Structure 1
Amino acid sequence: SLGLGLAGSREGLSTSLLARWCGFGRFGSVLIGILLTISLVGWFGVQNAVFAHSLDYALGGRLGFTWSAVLAGGALTVLVAFGFRALSWAAKITVPLFFLVIGWISFGILQEHTLSHLVTRLPMGAPMTLGAGATIVAGGYMVGALITPDISRFCQNGRHVFWMTLISIIVGEFIFNGIAILVARALNTADVVTIMTQSAGWIGLLTVILATTKNNDACLYSSSLSLANVVEGVTCRKLSRTKLTIILGV
């Protein structure tokens, strides 16, 4: 992730375009672009389902899941169509709020439960094989590492890329995922909407919506960059990233 990020910052290119000039060639980069587009659109659907579930819960079930998903996905598509500045604006609001709410939830949960009890208690639900667990962990982060250049190409220097990558892995992957496991065990549920609403009420629900927006805008943004490279590589024509974003969002 760090190596790709540094390459993206130095060259100012997205992942699929970097692949073209780093040994994969034109058609190799098209194949990589197709794989990234499919994977990221899939993640867009997963994240949008969480957003829709939260929105439907906030509205008391009046819209229903389907229309909530249409509304959430449409709003996010419009946001990403405005480009990277809109993504930056969303991050400035979401990240500090997310840190505050997670800190508040952690403090409240650990007051009611001992850390040793949460760590050592047996997990609930059906057991998972080691292979399935490893696949989920690796698969959940793999595409995120691959699209690092799509974001890092806007970094001013390598030092910014280093700290961006280091903080996202240590804070995001280890600390916050570790806290999420403890909270899920304390509340005996894996449903993120239930966890956040039970722990922090409407502020928690708002945080889920904003955090999902922040994660999902990166999925749609990078998938549009990958698809643009695919179209150019196959047809030798450049299409508007905005138009591709709308197509993918729909």
Structure 2
Amino acid sequence: MYSFDSRIRYSECDINGFLTIEGLIDYFQDCSTFQTQEGPATMEAMEKLGIAWVINSWQVNVKRLPKLGESVTVGTVPYELKAFMGLRNFFMKTKDGEELAIANSVWSLINLEKGTPYRINDDIIKTYPLDEKLPMEYAPRKIAEPEDGRRFSVKEKKVGLHHLDTNHHVNNGQYIRIALAAIEEFSGKENFDSLRTLAKNRQDFMVRAEYRQQAHLGDVIHPEIVIGAGEDSLTGCVVLLNDDGGKPYSIVELKQL
């Protein structure tokens, strides 16, 4: 396990003073990066080999989002390394030990030039000591669309520099940010009260994200919201973040727990 202590900053909060969902994802990503930089398989070392970790999927279960100024501990637990795949948990707790959020993630080690899997080497094994996976209700890696779902298109988003990470493609947390913004925009315009309530929820919810392909600078992302047909009380929805041809870059699910 690797962890670090922090405090929720003003720049990480929404208009009500809660840590944003994408801010939580950023904390988890920072935690894994800090562990990577302990080495020996640092980002610089992997860059020399032309390799990088690329995420396949996220599952984040949130009990409550912390508020401005709260002191937190953020941790990660790598629990499986096999061939070119890496699986790891994340968590955020208060300084008193209250569990705020717990997550699971699946990663692939990729040769960036060839776009092919790269077998995990001894340095990577040394960098990520394995531990027991954390107890949580694990959802499937693949996100299923609601059967007979109603589909709604939302205004497209053009990829800018602020969406990119050091691998020069859209950061995985940015897809979640774009999906949640699409839900808020749609629910506000259409007066969809149950969807607006879900989008503004700050406790007892789950976010899942599945990544299909990479978006780069200048690409256009077309969000499509899919909501289960005939639901009187909405408990979840799926957002497809599609390319110009209708194929998803990423699929994001937001669900009440």
TM-score normalised to the size of structure 1? 0.22
Larger Rg: 1
Q: Looking at both structures, which has the greater relative contact order when contacts are Cα pairs under 8 Å and sequence separation is at least 6?
A: 1
TM-score normalised to the size of structure 2? 0.22
The structure with more helix, counted as a fraction of residues:
1
